[in-house]
Structure 1
Amino acid sequence: MLYAQTTPADKRAGFRERLASGELLRFPGAFNPLSARLIERKGFDGVYISGAVLSADLGLPDIGLTTLTEVAGRAKQIARMTELPAIVDADTGFGEPMNVARTVQEMEDAGLAGLHIEDQVNPKRCGHLDGKQVVDEHTALQRIRAAVDARRDPNFLIMARTDIAAVDGLDASIDRAKALVDAGADAIFPEAMRSLEEFAAMRAAVDVPLLANMTEFGKSELFTVQQLADVGMNLVIWPVSLLRLAMGAADRGLDELVDAGALTGLLPQMQHRADLYELIDYEGYNHFDTSIFNFTVAR
């Protein structure tokens, strides 16, 4: 009932232990707190909180318009609804190195298991769009050093995302990844890899966990979990997939209302009321309520 029973510290410790095992962990992207609970129920390993999804939820493009307060607040709402660890997209850290430090502590306080900070310039772009620009290596390393220095829980994961492959190629991405690891990054997110061979090259270059981004309609081919495991990836995210599925269903539902005037024909595609109540533990709330308010009013 209410929120997760596992503490943020325990989620982080468990996440780190599993990450160290070398297995591939699957983190679908949650677009709201309820979808995070569904991800848990389906047996996944963790929850990803996408900056693109949070922007879209506000009706904004993913170009760095959201604030630390907005992202941390929504991330907290999502993370506290599941026993799974949650990692969040912290864009460029929401400012200069001191802002990056504050971002880390805000996300720790919000109950996240980790975050990633990228090396794009501000205003940033979606990682799979053309025309991206990245900061120089000194600035990128400053961000990661600030994040590591600000961390209070050593199990809070500081992941460095690099977008430089789309600008200067794979070799530049490998060099940047090595420098980010030397600066203290616990894991690397090489954005917009185009092939399994590129993922494998990143794997050969660094000895920290690597994340693969399987976003639809982007630069990367949509590889299977097994294909990514075979080249040594440790995390895979589907950041916007559930939002895309949900919005596609909503679009079709509204069309049905326009065309048919009722949604009777789409009932088999809807989540049943009973399934929703089970997911939000309606019975647990009801039991708690009746156990507290178990008196009768004298007449």
Structure 2
Amino acid sequence: MMGDFNQILTSDENYSISTYTLPVRGMEEFQECLTLCELEDNETRGTHFTWENGQLEDHILLKLDRVLGNQSWRDNFSDVYVFFDAPGDSDHSPCVVDLNVNLRSRKCIFKYFSFLATHPIFLEAIKSAWEKDIPVGSKLFSLGQKLNHVKKACRKLNKEGFSNIQQRARDALAKLQDIQSRLLTQPSDNLFREEFVARKEWKFFEKAEGIFYKRKSRIRWLTLGEGNFGHQAQNAIQYLVDNDDQRVDQNEAVKSMAVEYFQTLLGQETRKFSRSQWKN
């Protein structure tokens, strides 16, 4: 169900320069109607507000247009999303419902590498991105916009400071070795200073490269997770055998037997377990 409902649903769906009296009764009735019909908004992108009155002195923005769906709709179109564009010469935003988003697009996964935090202007860049002005909207909308700004700042830092990190580390080491060769041949104050700066730069890239490879190996482990989980399952304790030679495989019972075994091992006067009673 989609269209102009001529009614806002929550207080954050309106913005006005001057005082605007909220249609509280209409909002309550609209909420009751959607609850009764088991309808909810589909995922929305683009503009938050969908209508404006076009009056400069008393400008009002409202979210009047929406696309609603029930549980059956969401089960059949789990990847659907709604896009509201800028209105142009209209007072309402045009709306597009995309039913095949996964068939035509591929999301680029954002990966945060901790070596970004070693960049000299990391905190400054993140703070600046977080404090950028956000268009008026719900708290969730504002949070999403702030996180997008921070992701862009991280990508920019990565591109400018750490792109092709392996080559940068090799170049930094080659530069350091060149300075050291000249320093050990014809020492000078300038070369001492250059060697100090070059060593610091190489250490910086070496540390970043180490973090990069560690993270990459973790990603590879997750990619091959099925095999790793199989290895874990093979080495896990599946069951224990109690003093009556009865198999115990319930999770809580296994835990209790393990605790009791180690209590006995540490000297408490309880029944003893032999190592042969433990089975993998």
The normalised TM-score by structure 1 is 0.18
Q: Choose between structure 1 and 2: higher helix proportion.
A: 2
State the TM-score, normalized to the length of structure 2: 0.19
Question: Which of 1 and 2 has higher RCO (CA within 8 Å, sep 6+)?
Answer: 1
